Structure 1
Amino acid sequence: MSEQSERPETVPGGTRVPVRMCVRCGAITDTPVVVSEVHQGSGPGFTVYACRDCAPHFPRVPAVLSLPRASHRGGGER
């Protein structure tokens, strides 16, 4: 890798820059935006990222604390 890279892995001071692939266009971005969180019952989930240009094409990720509890959604507990 050359000394002058388009996307440096670290910034001055040694802080690591997150580099992720956009789920929509496949571009590698150093300014990823979280567009989804996938939860799994049988193991760890994962986070889905998009670039800044594609992020507006996804619905906003709801805040977990703003969602109604399961007993208030109807049907009660099972």
Structure 2
Amino acid sequence: KNIGVTHLTNGCYRLHPVEWNIGEAAGALAAYCLQRGVSPRQVRRDSARLADFQSALVQRGVELAWPVLGPV
């Protein structure tokens, strides 16, 4: 794995489902960019492209946010 995080945030990122989610999103972004002839940076900077990419992730069943379980 090659994720640049601090030792504090690693407590979350080290869990396998989170790692899988990051890898799935990264692979989907690479495919999205190749199909459209854009760079990942262009997707991030353009709100319409970002929304389109996020919609594509949701259609694939990729989680985009932490679930809300209620008061802690």
Superposition TM-score, scaled by structure 2 size: 0.20
Which protein has the larger Cα radius of gyration, Structure 1 or Structure 2? 1
Quick check: which one's strand share is greater? Answer: 1
